Structure 1
Amino acid sequence: MGLSLKITKKQFLNCIIAGFLFLVYGNGVFIWALRYVDSGFAALEASTQPLFVLLLMRLVDGKKMQKKSLIGVALGIFGMYLLVSQKTLTTSNETLLGMFMILTCVLAWSYGSVFVAKADLPKNFFVSTAYQMISAGVLLAIFSATCNETWVIPTQWSVKVKWAVTLLIVFGGVVAFTAFNYLLKEVSTEKVSTSAYVNPIIAIILGWFILDEEVTLQTGIAALVLLTGVYFITTRKKIKTRVIGN
């Protein structure tokens, strides 16, 4: 595309910070936690991102919370209680650890959203995303080697794995993550977090359909309460203005 890859030291540092919050911790640890938690449940936890974004904007920027937002936070907390209080989900310490780590990942992603919205980053969003992903890739490789994880070259991957990785790279990385970086600079942070609406529903359906994961009535109720809370947070009452003529 002929774009300039020039970047200042401050911009490069900010890209590393954003890459760590989004991809190293937010995604890397999240994927690790999926060994202990169902994908549908994990996505429901991730749907609390707008709650964290709202609270962080209050703490970091001093932004006042509207009444509808407070209702949303209350519903979100109640929804999380319904979600984590299920006996079938708390049968082992590993499950509890996975649930906790996913919440920390959501917090990291939420803070990253607030950070990127105001950080000095390359103006072009392809360049900004590229530096974030490259720095995150290097950090993930270092952490993986430190943890003595087994590496398998792509030629030895199964067909399903190759398709999955290709789809993640194209749609999850190039398309979605670039669009996400763009929107954080063009739209309010809490509005960008509305992507959390769709993820839990799709994950629950696919987890049930493909992975035979159980969907309980309490999970369904918790999902409804959570998403209702998120809806209250991200919808604002329109203020009608009247122009008075001379």
Structure 2
Amino acid sequence: MSAPRFPLLLVGAFAALYLVWGSTYLVIRIGVESWPPLLMAAVRFLIAGSLMFAWQRWRGAPLPTRRQWLASGAVGFLLLSCGNGGVTLAEHGGVASGVAALAVATMPLFTLVFGLFWGHRNTRLEWSGIILGLIGIGLLNLGSNLQASPLGAALVLFAAAAWAFGSVWSKSLTQPAGPMASAAQMLVGGAVLLIGSVASGERMTQAPTLAGWAALAYLVLFGSIVAFSAYLYLLKTVRPAAATSYAYVNPVVAVLLGIAFAGERIGHEEWLAMGLIVGAVVLIGLPQWRRGA
């Protein structure tokens, strides 16, 4: 009975990673129409982190030590407060969800650059990917979406860089084992976002719409819990290069969803930028596939 279920679970995990994470950019755009951006991100991660923390404790996971809280807090600040918070602010400021996803897709490029600080040596193929990706970033900034919002352009690129730096740094930090690390990251990252929301003077002028509540629920359940669990499952089941292939699938999904459901328009420069950025991420991933990593 277990044989036919395993491939179905594998397909479901990839579908969650590709479609759910790709769709979160559109859902964020829907959510910020009735939620203050930082508050929405804060509530999202505080609820998801609390649920994951309670689940891990119920399963017998030990409480994180002070050192682990500090490490997970630093990673949560970079990935969630700066990374996701930056994207949410950019979309609230008018950046199209598909364009935001394209900008965030440059994260693997920043990862390679920051890896140099930890002694990682890039191959010629990886450097080719970095150069190609930088050209894509340049074209993306020539498009009408980011030209109309220079602050939004800076925010999404800052978000990608912060996510990349946090990801690289996390490998040398002592964090809790398994999902407890992500739960701690969400709790700290969400708390920082909440402080930022209060400090910036965000206010709920009216109750969120039904679409706003649905967006928040989707981001908590599917964007934070289901997709993350699928990612952990894939890391244990398939090669890392396959598990991280979402990096060049998500932007395409996000662009198509934005066009189909939000009436977003993508210019010629941005379509070309998508091809270059996705191609750059594929180039960066090729060494992993060749090594069978």
The separation in 1 between residues aligned to 2:229 and 2:81, in whole angstroms, is: 16
1:112 alignment partner in structure 2: 166
Query: Does the Cα contact within 8 Å between 1:46 and 1:102 map onto a contact in 2?
Result: yes
Label 1:128 to 1:207 Cα distance change in 2 as closer, same or farther (>3 A).
Answer: same
1:57 alignment partner in structure 2: 115
SS in 2 for 1:4: coil
The separation in 2 between residues aligned to 1:53 and 1:99, in whole angstroms, is: 19
- Aligned AA (2:290): K
1:89 matched to 2:140 = no
SS in 1 for 2:276: helix
2:192 alignment partner in structure 1: 139
Tell me the CA shift for residue 83 of structure 1. Answer: 1.4
The separation in 2 between residues aligned to 1:188 and 1:70, in whole angstroms, is: 22
2:290 alignment partner in structure 1: 238
Label 1:224 to 1:46 Cα distance change in 2 as closer, same or farther (>3 A).
Answer: same
Tell me the CA shift for residue 126 of structure 1. Answer: 2.3
Label 1:108 to 1:132 Cα distance change in 2 as closer, same or farther (>3 A).
Answer: same
TM-score by structure 2 length?
A: 0.72
2:179 alignment partner in structure 1: 126
1:17 alignment partner in structure 2: 74
1:47 alignment partner in structure 2: 105
Structure 2, unaligned runs of 5 or more: 1-57
Label 1:4 to 1:174 Cα distance change in 2 as closer, same or farther (>3 A).
Answer: same
Query: Does the Cα contact within 8 Å between 1:50 and 1:193 map onto a contact in 2?
Result: no
Q: Deviations over 1:140-194 (max 9, x none)?
A: 11111111111379xx432212221111111211123355578789999887654
Tell me the CA shift for residue 215 of structure 1. Answer: 1.8
The separation in 2 between residues aligned to 1:106 and 1:128, in whole angstroms, is: 21
Normalized per residue, the structure richer in helix is 2
Alignment partner for residue 67 of structure 1, among 117, 120, 124?
A: 124
- Aligned AA (1:84): N
SS in 1 for 2:203: coil
1:219 matched to 2:273 = no
1:167 matched to 2:218 = yes
The separation in 1 between residues aligned to 2:199 and 2:232, in whole angstroms, is: 30
Tell me the CA shift for residue 121 of structure 1. Answer: 0.7
The separation in 1 between residues aligned to 2:66 and 2:137, in whole angstroms, is: 41
Tell me the CA shift for residue 71 of structure 1. Answer: 1.2
SS in 1 for 2:152: helix
The separation in 1 between residues aligned to 2:155 and 2:103, in whole angstroms, is: 10
Query: Does the Cα contact within 8 Å between 2:80 and 2:186 map onto a contact in 1?
Result: yes
1:244 alignment partner in structure 2: none
Size of the aligned set, in residue pairs, is: 233
Label 1:17 to 1:190 Cα distance change in 2 as closer, same or farther (>3 A).
Answer: farther
- Aligned AA (1:75): L
Label 1:171 to 1:134 Cα distance change in 2 as closer, same or farther (>3 A).
Answer: same
- Aligned AA (1:202): V
Query: Does the Cα contact within 8 Å between 1:129 and 1:181 map onto a contact in 2?
Result: no
Q: Percent identity?
A: 30
SS in 1 for 2:171: helix
Label 1:141 to 1:239 Cα distance change in 2 as closer, same or farther (>3 A).
Answer: closer
1:158 matched to 2:175 = no
